[in-house]
Structure 1
Amino acid sequence: MARPEVLDRIKEAEREADEIVEDAHEQREARIQEARTEAEQIREQAREEARELKSRRLDEAREEIEAEREEIIAEGEADRQALESHAESQRNEVVGYAVNLFTEAVDAQT
């Protein structure tokens, strides 16, 4: 094989090697970009799932608070009714006691 042919084949091999290296770099960059895109999608999905979980937990907490509030209000209403009933049952006794005090005070002045 003549020397110019050998040199041409070497140059062609070097061009092919350069193309292979360039293709490999391009493929590497493409895979890196794909990985970055996929990672961003995963992060966004995780953020969305976290928002949904937070929302569900807040809703559950609000429901628990509302149930507890209703229970406290019901207990307070029951206590108020019991106190009112007790006060009503003692009204005649208190009125009689006040009349007696008043009568004694009037009698003491005369």
Structure 2
Amino acid sequence: MTRAETLLEIKKAEEEAEQIVREAQEKQKMIVANARREAAQRMRESEEKLRAEFELAVSREKNRIASQKEEILKRGREEAEKIKKLANERIPEIRLYLKNAFERAIDAATRTNG
């Protein structure tokens, strides 16, 4: 092999090496870009999943609170009904007490004046 042929082969090998390096760099850029896209997609999916879980938890908590509220209101209505019933049952007794108190006051007033 002559010196010119050797130099030509070296030049050809260098060009092939440069081509391999360029291809490797392009491949590396594509891999990095794909990895970034995939990471961004995973982040979006994770955020969506967390948001959905949060909304579900909030919804469940609202339902639980609404249920508690209804139970408290129900007990309050029942208690108010008991008080109203007791008050209505005592009205005749209270009327009699007030009538008697009024009559005693009138009697006392007429005794002192008469």
TM-score interval for Structure 1 and Structure 2 normalised by the shorter chain: over 0.9
TM-score using structure 2 length? 0.94
| Greater than 2 Å deviation, 4+ residue runs | none
CA deviation after TM superposition for structure 1 residue 42, in Å:
0.4
Q: Which amino acid aligns with 1:20?
A: I
Q: How does 1:17-32 map to 2 (within 5 A)?
A: 17-32=17-32
Q: Which amino acid aligns with 1:40?
A: A
Q: Percent identity?
A: 32
Residue ranges of structure 2 left out of the alignment (5+ in a row): none
Q: Which amino acid aligns with 1:27?
A: K
Partner of 2:47: 47
Q: Give the Cα separation in 1 of the matches to 2:21 and 2:82.
A: 90
Q: Give the Cα separation in 1 of the matches to 2:12 and 2:63.
A: 76
Q: Which amino acid aligns with 2:31?
A: R
Q: Give the Cα separation in 2 of the matches to 1:107 and 1:13.
A: 135
C-alpha deviations, 1:42-67, integer Å up to 9, x for none? Answer: 00000110111111111111111111
Q: Give the Cα separation in 2 of the matches to 1:2 and 1:75.
A: 108
Q: Give the Cα separation in 2 of the matches to 1:82 and 1:109.
A: 39
TM-score using structure 1 length? 0.97
Q: Give the Cα separation in 2 of the matches to 1:33 and 1:17.
A: 24
Report how many aligned residue pairs link the two structures. 110
Q: Give the Cα separation in 2 of the matches to 1:8 and 1:90.
A: 121
Q: Give the Cα separation in 1 of the matches to 2:87 and 2:109.
A: 32
Aligned-pair Cα RMSD in Å: 0.6
Q: Which amino acid aligns with 2:45?
A: Q
Q: Which amino acid aligns with 2:100?
A: N
Partner of 2:76: 76
Residue ranges of structure 1 left out of the alignment (5+ in a row): none
Partner of 2:91: 91
Partner of 2:14: 14
